[in-house]
Amino acid sequence: MSKRIICRVLVLLLGVVLAIPAVVAYASRNDTVRVGLRFDPATLNMLEMKTGFEIPVILTMNEPLLGSDPVTGDRIFSALAESMQVMPNKKDIKIKIRKGARFQTGDPLTAADVKWTYEQCVNPKNANMMAGPLDEIESIEVLDDQTLIFRFFEPYAGWKELMWIGICSKKYYDSVGPEKFRKNPVGSGMFKFVARKVGESVTVTLDPDYWGYSYLKKEFNIDKPNFKNVQFVIIPDDQTRIAMLETGELDIVSDILPHQVKQLQKNKRVKIKRIDKVPSLYGISHKPYADPIMKDQYFCYAIKHAINRQEIVDKVFLGEGYPLYLYASKTELGYDPKIKFDFNPQKAKEYLKKSSYKPGYPIMLTYGSDVPNASLVAAAIQQYLQNIGITVKLRQLEAGTMATYSRTKDPRIGPLLLFAWHGGRDPSTRLMLSMKSNSPYSAWPDRPHKKEMDDLIDAQARELDEKKRAGLLAKYHGMWMENPSSTSLFGLNMIYATSDRVEYNWAPQEAFIFNLHLVKIVK
């Protein structure tokens, strides 16, 4: 029995000992902003960036050429580039880098580093996610340490969307080699890399010697942050991430599901915010190679009119979004709120009658987990289509299999595929990749009017004048809607929340957490 008493005493002692580090850890949190991330960044090496999930972390350390305006989200000169100028031939962009820019190692950042970084990003060995879009650049010419020219093959309207790549130091890479470069990234940004615990967290700390504090204050009235560290904490589970925000273990959490808002609202220590000007596009992709019926335009019209987009937004996403009728989301050029068509089951039924669809023929709708509430959206669509007489079968496909099927045009993917596009601000990349008939990802290479549509896609990409470009895009949309190769469904608001000790506003037009140097600790 005395053994048990000893046990009790031991447990008590243990409790006290356990409590001390917890208190210490809590105290050290005061000058750290903790950001919850869903995915572990695959790499912290800008040159090998694989997915968008790495962007928020890497760009705190590696400064890009262009920054983004905290109010409008437009690309502005709040970063390395002092000026950019489209040359008269419309194909060349002359870029001037700010004087005094330097890496965290102390070495100056020169035009040669920019050139080198961009070249590494297209190097297939690095499998960088930007390699595709960057193929538009023919060459980069260094004029002097501060100036360089990007030469494009053709005038390229989306050139500003290539300017967010974080610049790396060639000298550092050469001196430490690829292994260390990967493990211990160095950039010219406001934050320095401290430590990474794979699968757990990445910590960066404010660089007191950052070169740009004075110009940021002078030109953009941006103060030095009033905190020391940013810690990105990786919490894959949505529910756990939210719970940690509630307990104050995290300061900023994004991609909150509408259902979680109600619970969060009860918590006075959490501030919930939302923004609709973020890239967000959800729809159903048609796969004619899986089932020729998808080539039938009347069948596609029937689908178009059968789905009550507003109800999906209201019921499945509790109103946190907007119905989408065209192939561009709110942040993209070409978005036009006036274009919409009515939800009209009667009309849909008439179209269905005109089509070659035979009642009872099963149509497979595939969905993955990349769409929030995917199973709900899929089931809702199943209901709408069944209401007009289309038999729909649902199937959830695991992400990897789905990616393989769509890349290899495997008919097993099924005629309808629920997709998500978190892409950027410019529709060009997506149009060129998924719509142009010669692209390997085009689901319908032999579509009607393919020549005209291809030409339109090219023409809009070459058109630097925004108004003319919008006109071309509108024309394109018209043709696309005549023979739809996908059905847009909705866009979603970005719901994010912060603890009450920090002040942060989402950068418009960004799909990921951005502008973390603008975070203020208020308590």
Partner 1 sequence: MQGYIIKRIAIALLIIYVVLTVVFFVFRMGGADPVAIMLPPDATPRDQKVLTEKFGLDKSLPAQYWIFVKNAVHGDFGLSFKYSEPALTVLLERLPATIKLGLTAFCLAFCVGIPIGIISAVRRDSWIDRVGRVMALAGMSLPSFWVGMMLILFFGVSLRLLPISGSDTPLHYIMPAFCMSLYPIALFTRLSRSAMLDALKSEYVVMARIKGVPEVYVILLHALRNASITLVTVVFGVFGALILGSVVVETIFAWPGIGRLVMESYFGRDYPVVQIFVMFVTFIVVVMNLLVDIVYAYIDPRIRYQ
Partner 2 sequence: MFAKLKKINGSSEERAGRIRLPYIGLTCLALFFLAVLFADFLAPYDPFAGNLGNQTLPPFWQEGGSVKNWLGTDMLGRDVLSRLIYGSRMSFLISLGCIAFYGTIGIVIGLISGFVGGKTDMFLMRLADFWISLPAIIVIFILASIRGPSAETLILAFGIMGWPGYARIVRGETLSLKQRDFIRLARVAGCGNLRIMFSHILPNIFNTIIILTTIDIGGIIVLTATMSFLGLGTQPPSCDWGLMLSEGRQYITYAWWLVAFPGIAIVIAVLGFNLTGDWIRELLDPKQKLR
Residues that bind partner 2 (CB under 8 A): 238-239, 242, 257, 259-260, 262-263, 311, 315-316, 373, 375-376, 379-380, 383, 394, 396, 398, 401
Q: Which residue among 31, 107, 119, 249 contacts partner 1 (CB under 8 A)?
A: 249
386 lines the binding site for partner 1 (CB under 8 A): no
**CB within 8 A of 523, min separation 6: which ones?**
500, 501
Smallest separation, CB 396 to partner 2 (Å): 5
Buried b (16+ CB within 10 A) or exposed e, 399-438: eeebeebbeeeeeebbbbbbbbbbbbbbbbbbbbebbbee
18 lines the binding site for partner 1 (CB under 8 A): yes
Smallest separation, CB 306 to partner 2 (Å): 14
- Residue placing its CB nearer to partner 2 in the complex, 375 or 439: 375
Concatenating the DSSP letter of every residue in 314-373 gives IIISTT-EEE--SSS-TTSTT--TT------HHHHHHHHHHSS--TT-EEEEEE-SSSTT
176 lines the binding site for partner 1 (CB under 8 A): no
Supply the Cα-derived Rg of the chain in whole angstroms.
25
Token pair belonging to 209 = 């010697």
Smallest separation, CB 140 to partner 1 (Å): 19
3-class state of residue 237 by DSSP: coil
- Residue placing its CB nearer to partner 2 in the complex, 383 or 439: 383
Q: Which residue among 84, 112, 243, 481 contacts partner 1 (CB under 8 A)?
A: 243
Write out the binding residues for partner 1, residues 312-371 only, by CB under 8 A: none
Given partner 1, partner 2, none, residue 291, with its beta carbon under 5 to 8 Å by kind, binds none
C-alpha angle 157/158/164, rounded to 5°? Answer: 145
441 lines the binding site for partner 1 (CB under 8 A): yes
Smallest separation, CB 33 to partner 2 (Å): 25
127 lines the binding site for partner 1 (CB under 8 A): yes
143 lines the binding site for partner 1 (CB under 8 A): no
Given partner 1, partner 2, none, residue 238, with its beta carbon under 5 to 8 Å by kind, binds partner 2
217 lines the binding site for partner 1 (CB under 8 A): no
What CA–CA distance (Å, rounded) separates 140 from 167?
14
**CB within 8 A of 139, min separation 6: which ones?**
151
Contact of 56 with 164, CB cutoff 8 Å: no
Token pair belonging to 522 = 């208020």
Q: Which residue among 430, 475, 501, 520 contacts partner 1 (CB under 8 A)?
A: 430
Token pair belonging to 504 = 């942060």
Write out the binding residues for partner 1, residues 40-59 only, by CB under 8 A: 40, 42-43, 48, 50-52
What CA–CA distance (Å, rounded) separates 431 from 439?
10
Concatenating the DSSP letter of every residue in 17-63 gives HHHHHHHHHHHHGGGEEEEEESS--S-S-GGG--SGGGHHHHHHHS-
3-class state of residue 75 by DSSP: strand
Smallest separation, CB 168 to partner 1 (Å): 16
What CA–CA distance (Å, rounded) separates 193 from 170?
17
125 lines the binding site for partner 1 (CB under 8 A): yes
- Residue placing its CB nearer to partner 1 in the complex, 45 or 355: 45
What CA–CA distance (Å, rounded) separates 123 from 404?
23
Given partner 1, partner 2, none, residue 337, with its beta carbon under 5 to 8 Å by kind, binds none
Label residue 361 exposed, middle or buried (CB < 10 Å: 0-12, 13-18, 19+). exposed
Contact of 514 with 56, CB cutoff 8 Å: yes
240 lines the binding site for partner 1 (CB under 8 A): yes
Smallest separation, CB 215 to partner 2 (Å): 45
The dihedral over CA atoms of 9, 11, 14, 20, expressed in degrees to the nearest 10, equals -100
Smallest separation, CB 379 to partner 2 (Å): 5
6 lines the binding site for partner 1 (CB under 8 A): no
- Residue placing its CB nearer to partner 1 in the complex, 136 or 207: 136
Q: Which residue among 234, 290, 300, 312 contacts partner 1 (CB under 8 A)?
A: 234
DSSP tag of 156: -
- Residue placing its CB nearer to partner 1 in the complex, 183 or 468: 183
Count of beta carbons in the 10 Å neighbourhood of residue 507: 23
Alpha carbon distances (Å) from 408 to 95, 204, 411, 444: 40, 40, 9, 13
Smallest separation, CB 242 to partner 1 (Å): 9
3-class state of residue 399 by DSSP: helix
239 lines the binding site for partner 1 (CB under 8 A): yes
The binding track of 389-428 with respect to partner 1, each residue x by CB under 8 A or -, is ---------xxxx-xx--xx--------------------
135 lines the binding site for partner 1 (CB under 8 A): yes
133 lines the binding site for partner 1 (CB under 8 A): yes
- Residue placing its CB nearer to partner 1 in the complex, 345 or 445: 445
Closest CA to 313 of 61, 124, 493, 106: 493
Given partner 1, partner 2, none, residue 259, with its beta carbon under 5 to 8 Å by kind, binds partner 2
* Residues in touch with partner 1 (CB under 8 A): 17-19, 21-22, 25, 40, 42-43, 48, 50-52, 124-125, 127, 129, 131-133, 135, 182, 197-201, 233-237, 239-240, 243-244, 246-247, 249, 398-401, 403-404, 407-408, 429-430, 433, 440-441
